[in-house]
């Protein structure tokens, strides 16, 4: 995942953000509303204003079911905490920051297998019926954008034997790295004027 985060940083620099404004691995805490702080994987702070924050997550087997629910709750909770803190003036200006979600899933038989749902009282939404964990993560990323919890999201998959070489797949056309990068470039470009 470090390679992709470094690529996001390079794209921001290419878009005109100086490296001194980009924080990675240190000084990455931002105030929250429901908690004191949260560490993000990459943030951009320029002239005492938050320009961007990016969350990077991944999952490799074997317990996809439990981890999917945890990752879903974590993504939604982090976004709610972030935007509520923003509303309350935690980031020093009314300039809306870019909030990105980047997710990589192990591409393996377990992540591609159809998953049953339990419906003891009410019907689940039809897109989840028989959906694999791969499809569920794709839906999560898409819905995080649709509901405006995140400005943009990227969803990648890779096999365990190719991940370290940067080999990956982009299962959804609207959640590609290129789309994610264009959104970042657009946002930081405007903030750099």
Angle at 56 between CA 36 and CA 11, to 5 degrees: 110
Helices and strands counted in the chain (H then E): 5, 7
Domain boundaries, the chain: 2-191
pTM recorded for the entire structure: 0.92
User: Average pLDDT over the chain, rounded to whole?
Assistant: 91
Tens digit of each residue's pLDDT (9 = 90 or more) over 31-75 = 999 999 999 999 999 988 999 999 999 988 778 877 899 999 999
Q: What are phi and psi of 61, to 5 degrees?
A: -55, 180
């Amino acid at each position: 995942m470090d390679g992709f985060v470094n690529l996001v940083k390079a794209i921001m620099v290419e878009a005109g953000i100086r490296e001194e404004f980009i924080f990675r691995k240190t000084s990455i805490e931002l105030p929250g509303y429901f908690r004191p702080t949260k560490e993000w994987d990459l943030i951009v702070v320029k002239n005492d204003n938050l320009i961007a924050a990016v969350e990077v997550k991944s999952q490799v087997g074997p317990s996809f079911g439990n981890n999917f629910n945890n990752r879903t709750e974590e993504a939604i909770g982090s976004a709610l905490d972030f935007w509520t803190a923003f509303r309350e003036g935690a980031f020093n200006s009314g300039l809306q920051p870019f909030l990105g979600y980047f997710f990589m899933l192990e591409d393996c038989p377990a992540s591609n297998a159809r998953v049953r749902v339990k419906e003891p009282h009410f019907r689940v939404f039809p897109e989840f019926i028989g959906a694999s964990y791969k499809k569920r993560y794709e839906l999560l990323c898409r819905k995080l954008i649709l509901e405006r919890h995140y400005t943009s999201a990227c969803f990648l998959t890779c096999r365990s034997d190719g991940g370290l070489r940067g080999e990956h797949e982009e299962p959804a056309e609207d959640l590609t790295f290129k789309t994610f990068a264009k959104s970042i470039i657009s946002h930081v470009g405007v903030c750099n004027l």
